[in-house]
Copies of this chain bind each other. A is one copy, B any other.
């Protein structure tokens, strides 16, 4: 009956290592456990646990915990207390990097995802690709210096940016940033790091972040809409990121063009002149005027909401998520929730819950950290040199 296991012992080793590491990291906080406790927590045999702990210690991921002061934990101890083992969360770091039209942001965390530092810098909308990358590099260097994290301890870097991103990190299409379409972003970033660099679309990173630490915790079927003049969306289906066959899933921005409606810049304009494509300040001003009772601004906002509803409805009808998270702009979006809910109730056969992003501006960079952590966790569990599938 053990015939299947005989076919791939490394797979079993990996699974067993995963089980032990997960037990040590605990459901919420890392904890130090004895071998006996690990046997109970994992359901593995004692010899297996011993072997796995030894391998993890050699890899620098587990160490014996400092002895706890005698706390009388209810178990009788004879002679020397049992050794406890802990996950060395400080054995490495991961970096999350957001490269956007107006800013770059970097976030560093330990191996449990505990964020130990963050730094954001503005960047000119008109900056060339080289200038923008240089700005990102400088921000990373500053952050590592300030948090006293050595670049050598980075185990993975997650990077996120608007546009369609291919599996190798090349930007297939990125109209929001000058010189971005065709940029081998992954390759360019890899020159600065010795660890793997993963690149992902910003809305995709955003939904990972909201699922991890934000408004979508505990919810596995989520669409996150980055509302903006050209909206994008990221989706989780059954807890997994849905990238689409070509990485373009959720790039819903073109849909309204089909309806031959006005461009969003015109929708939101209170004059005859369209707004600047990326002018968030102007948008915030329109929203503020509308709230203050300005008639032109109110109509402009109505038009904008109508379009947002249409885009979100398209996503909801296609995907049928449990939850829609609306993010993207720092302010003004709270006014769109109620009309959005009402319209979705009206047109969707099964309307999802609708909520605001909890992470706001931090969503993309936080999602980039999650991306890097996912990669590291997959790697960590390969403790004896065999490659993960």
Q: Which residues of A contact B (CB under 8 A)?
A: 1-7, 9, 12-13, 15-16, 43-45, 48, 164, 172-173, 221, 233, 235, 237, 242-255, 257-259, 261, 306, 309-310, 313-315, 317-322, 343, 347-350, 352
Contact = CB atoms under 8 A, between A and B. Distances in A.
Nearest to A348: B254
Contact of A247 (B9, B43, B247, B320): B320
A320 B350 contact: no
6 contacts: A1-B5, A2-B12, A246-B320, A254-B317, A258-B343, A319-B319
Contacts of A6: 45
Contacts of A309: 258
A322 B245 contact: yes
Given A246-B350, A320-B245, A347-B254, A16 B4 contact: yes
B3 A349 contact: no
Given A320-B243, A349-B173, A12 B7 contact: no
Contact of A242 (B1, B43, B237, B313): B237
Q: Which 5 A-B pairs have the closest CB atoms?
A: A244-B320, A318-B318, A314-B314, A249-B320, A246-B350
A258 B313 contact: yes
Contacts of A350: 164, 172, 244-248
Given A246-B322, A255-B313, 12 more contacts: A3-B45, A4-B44, A233-B318, A245-B322, A245-B350, A250-B317, A251-B349, A254-B313, A255-B347, A259-B261, A314-B317, A319-B319
A7 B313 contact: no
Chain A interface mostly helix, strand, loop or mixed? mixed
A177 to B, nearest CB: 15
Identify the interface centre among A249, A317, A347: most chain B CB within 10 Å of its CB. Answer: A317
A257 B347 contact: yes
A339 to B, nearest CB: 12
A318 B254 CA distance: 11
Contact of A352 (B43, B245, B320): B245
A306 B260 CA distance: 11
Contacts of A352: 245
Question: Which of A6, A258, A259 has the most C-beta atoms of chain B within 10 angstroms of its own C-beta?
Answer: A258
B1 A4 contact: no
Which of A4, A9, A243, A313: most chain B CB closer than 10 A?
A4
A171 to B, nearest CB: 12
A15 to B, nearest CB: 6
Contacts of A242: 237, 319
Contacts of A313: 254-255, 258
Given A251-B349, A320-B244, A349-B254, A2 B2 contact: yes
Contacts of A259: 259, 261, 310
Contacts of A45: 3, 6
A314 B255 contact: yes
A252 B1 CA distance: 49
Nearest to A48: B3
Contacts of A306: 258
Contacts of A349: 164, 172-173, 248, 251, 254
A248 B320 contact: yes
Contacts of A320: 243-251
Which of A12, A15, A314, A343 has the most chain B CB atoms inside 10 A of its CB? A314
B314 A318 contact: yes
